[in-house]
Every structure is written in C-alpha cells, then in structure tokens.
Structure 1
C-alpha cells in the first residue's frame, strides 16, 4: 500500500520541481548589471575577505558566517548590531580552516548566537584593518511563513577565479536568484542541493 503511493508522489514532485525551475529560468528577466559592471563587481567580490556567505545555525537563534582569506594571522570576527550605525554591537570571534587546494588560503568561520526572531541585523566581517562594509540580514519571526529558493546542479565552475566561464556563469546565476527574490520578497533562504561545478 505504501509503495503504491510513494512512486506516483515522487514522480509528481519531480515534475513539479522541474516545471517550476523551467518557468523560473525563462522569466528571469533582464540582467541587473551589465557585463562590465559585473566584471568590476566580481573583482571586488573575490578579493580577500569580501565574499561572505551566511547560513542558518543549529537553531533559529544562530547565524553562521564564512569567507576566504589568504592569511590566518588575526582572528576572524563578525560584529552585529540592531542599528545601522553599529552602536551597541556584539563581536563574535571565530577561527580558520585551511583550504585543501594549493594557494587557496583559509576559510574563516564565525558563528553568531543569541539572535532574536523577526529582527533586522547589521553586520561587518573580517579582521582588524580588513572589515567588510556594513550589510544586513533578517531573522524570521516566530511562526511566520517564508519562502526559499532551491537550486541544484548549477554547473558553475572553473580553476581560475578570473576565468571567463566562471565569471559569466556566476553572473547568469546571480541574475536568476535576483529575479527570484524580486518575485517573492519573503525569500529567507537559498538552499543548494549540491553539484555546484
């Protein structure tokens, strides 16, 4: 009995996901940056400590931050505040993990804890003398609905951070994600199913 419903349900779910991604890709709209604007953005993005990745922590009160660094001399930090001027901020200290590739540097990891639900937070990441500009993220209010974008097998890769294939693929992928967020401002999470390269 259980098997009889599992296979058709799996097929329906797969078709639904496929159709939603096809519709999503087709309606991605015009690029948000020209190729030259994207190339300038990319150069800044991949420079030391500028590409910061956020991920939910072990529960609703945690947020994890990660970025690449060429050195591990200073402890990586994340400073959080509830105000744009960064007053009454809290600083969290993390650590480094050495990358496995040759010359790839270190991955900085910091976890912020004790966050409140339904709050906008301002943050800066980095090390002394090399901090990011102030950015923001929101925690989801308790009991609130939210949307997520699910991606997989995006085929963005390359051995060279400044290679044309990687830069152009990343631009197209960014345009699709931006279009998704424009369609639904409740997007709180982008979940990757893997196979990024």
Structure 2
C-alpha cells in the first residue's frame, strides 16, 4: 500500500491542479452526503433529495446562461425548490411526495428551457454535459472555497439542529408535543440538503 502511494506521489499525480481540485470537492461531496443522508432517509425524504438534485439543474443551466458562479445557480434553485416542497407539502408522506412531484415537474421544465437557451443563444460549449453529468477534473480552482463554505454550512446546520432534527425524524408527534416547530425544522433540513446537493452537483452533475 505504501509503495502505491509513493508511486502516485513520484508520478506527480497530486501535483496536478485539476486532480487536487477534484479530490477536495469530491471529498466535500462525500462527507456532506453521508451527514445529511442519514436525516434524509429517517424523514422519508429520499424522493425530495432526488428532486432537489434534478431541480438544481435549472439553476446550473441558468448560471451558464447568465455567466455566474455555477455553485450559486445550483444552490439558489435547490433552495427555492426546498421552500416550495416544505410549504406546499404536509406531514403525511404521500401528500408530501405529491408536493415534491409538482416542484420537480416545474424544475425540470425550467431546466430544459435554460439548457436550450444555453445551446442556442450563448457560445458556451459543454454546458449541458457539465450541468447534467458534471466533470470533476474540469472544476475551476476558484470553486474550492465556495464548496468548502457550503460543506461547512451543512455541518453547522446539522451540528446545531442535531437533536430536534433527530426527534422530528423519529417521532414527529412527540416533537410537536415538546413545542418543536416541525415545519421550520423540516425546512432547515431541506436547506442543508440543498447545500449538499449543490456541492455534489459540481462533482457529479445534477442527474447523477
């Protein structure tokens, strides 16, 4: 094992800027997915997580169209979708999934529109592939800082709200009896999930 790492180091593998960037952003994506994924499963929000990833593609496509930071595009649309899912939805899983489906349909429509405009009105090449499938080795080094900040935001939210998030996920009736605001905790959990989705979208795209 040691010889393997020595071989990588001597070959200059880690001296490559794109490799270091991919390693940092990929590590951030893996860590935030592991942390927020626990609460996503416990709350029965797997469909919401999938939907946020797909809807965020509209933000990524819009960022190429407007020439802004793609992380901001992914994050902005994911947060808009999170607000929509939480305030359209209710506590019952079936009805919450219905609200998620409505937001997902609208987001995919916007994504298709923005990707079409990217292709037809701008000179940006590979925008659709970058948004939908990502490219770890094409991530600009300037996005390392924002990706680290977004990851820190996930850890901060989960760290501060661990107990109420866990209680609302395991026993929402008991949480309500104790005066925990279920809707706001649910919204904050979705916002943390949106942060994680934005970081992951940089590395592996909105679809994957």
Indicate the TM-score class for this superposition, using the shorter chain for normalisation.
under 0.3
Higher fraction of strand:
1
**Higher-helix-fraction structure:** 2
Task: Name which structure has the greater RCO, CA cutoff 8 Å, separation 6+.
Answer: 2
> What TM-score comes out, normalization by structure 2 length?
0.25
